[in-house]
Structure 1
Amino acid sequence: MSLLEKATFPCTEVTLEKAEAKFYVVSRNKLILMSVLLSGFYLPYWHYRNWKAYRTATGEKVWPLIRAFLNIFFVYSLATKIQRQLNSAGRQYEWHPRLLALVIMVVGIFGNCIVYLPISVKAYLPIALFLMVFSTLCLLRFQAAINHLEGDPEGRQNSRITMANGAWILLGCVVWFFVIYAMLLLSGYVSIR
């Protein structure tokens, strides 16, 4: 027996499982596509998936469905939990979570109150589009922090469009068609004859 054979120790097979993700990972392009084409309906789903992943990973008693539907009131809490996880994992990331959460809250409240403002019908669609683009940009900052925390900065593990995503996108496009048509009809650009 050689010296090398004496120094080798018997090994057993060990399987390493990936740690449970604490938050929902998604790629930048998929997030933009889903946010825009689902005309804002993706946001509650995104919140639900984040709170569900957080509850599963930490065991903390949170109700993901309630937090998804009332996301304006829980976005600040989500931001602080993401930042705490970044700090405890030793992953530095510059994203100003509290300010970003506050901006998302204000945009969300303003978006819900826009129908009560005394503005012309022609102004609703451009304002709504601006708010949607602005909130998507804010959401991208959130997602970049989450992806950084989970060790997948590009969000590759959730970058493909699934059949379910395609069905939701189709439904979202139908909603967009009717919203734009209604706005054009109300503003007098299109008439029913």
Structure 2
Amino acid sequence: MSTNPTAMSTNPYAAPRSILVAPPSTATGVPFYVVSARKFTWLFIATMGHYGIYWFYRNWHVYREYSGSRIWPVARAIFAVLFVHSLFALVKEALAEEGKVSWHAGRHAALMVILMLLSFLVDKLASESVGPPQLVWLLMPLFALQAFVWRKAQVIINVSCHDPDGQSNDRFTAANFFWMAVGALYWALFLVGASATL
């Protein structure tokens, strides 16, 4: 049997000699998108809920940068209804690790999904003139409920990111005001159209 160290090192059956070290974590900053409840509420209402799409995108984008996960935030924002539960499960894990408040993430996600689907259904029926014309007004209470549920989720996310009040993202930017102005036009068109059903 050869005692040549070179021959032994090329033996495919030999145990590896290198020390295995776990790769360093790529986690930096916070795991999710932080924004104050005040700012979130204004943007969500002013944009008729369209801010919710950006909100999902930002949460997944920040989480990808934090964890190094190979996910596609754009797709998860577009098909948000399919990924609400997985996002909230991650937030719940972060809360548990920090020993923060308990949260029924599954129920919260289910409620959010139900409200999104109901709003889509009512909007579709109203736009296709299915049912009474006044059906369009049902969108208002549904929207109010969505705003409340989304806001609660944001507060929980802020807690999981060590910023309960969202002070790190409380100021409105020029882009925020621009999209709020665009949203105001959408609100005006909606109210004019809805008023015609009375």
Same fold (TM over 0.5): yes
Counterpart in the other structure of 1:39: 48
Kindly report the root-mean-square deviation, in angstroms, between the aligned alpha carbons of the 2 structures: 1.6
Q: Which residue of structure 2 aligns with residue 8 of structure 1?
A: none
Deviant stretches of 4+, over 6 Å: none
CA distance in 2, matches of 1:130, 1:73: 23
For 2:89, the aligned partner's letter is T
Which one of the candidate residues 17, 20, 34 is aligned to 2:29? 20
Do 1:104 and 1:138's aligned partners in 2 also have CA atoms closer than 8 Å? yes
> Which residue number in structure 1 is paired with residue 136 of structure 2?
124
Kept in 1, the 8 Å contact 2:96–2:102? The answer is: no
**How is 1:151-190 mapped onto 2 (pairs within 5 angstroms)?**
151-185=162-196, 187-188=197-198
* Residue pair 2:32, 2:62 contacting (<8 A) in 1 also: yes
Q: Shift in Å at residue 122 of structure 1?
A: 2.0
Deviation at 1:95, TM superposition (A): 2.6
Compute the TM-score of the two structures, normalised by the length of structure 2: 0.80
Contact 2:35/2:154 (<8 A) preserved:
yes
Unaligned 5+ segments in structure 2 are 1-27
1:108 is matched with which residue?
116
Distance 1:23 1:55 in 2: 9
Distance in structure 1 (CA, Å) of the matches to 2:195 and 2:156: 39
Paired residues in the alignment total 168
Please tell me whether the aligned partners of residues 75 and 101 of structure 1 are also in contact (alpha carbons under 8 angstroms). Answer: yes
CA contact (8 A) 1:27 1:155 kept: yes
Task: Quote how far apart the aligned CAs of 1:96 are.
Answer: 1.1
**Aligned equivalents of 2:181 and 2:107: distance in 1?**
34
Deviation per CA, 1:155-186, whole angstroms, max 9, x where unpaired?
0111111100000000000010011111112x
Residue type matched to 1:73 in 2? L
Counterparts of 1:85 and 1:63, CA distance in 2: 21
Calculate percent identity across the aligned residue pairs: 26
Q: Does 1:93 align with 2:98?
A: no
Matched residue of 2:77: which SS? helix
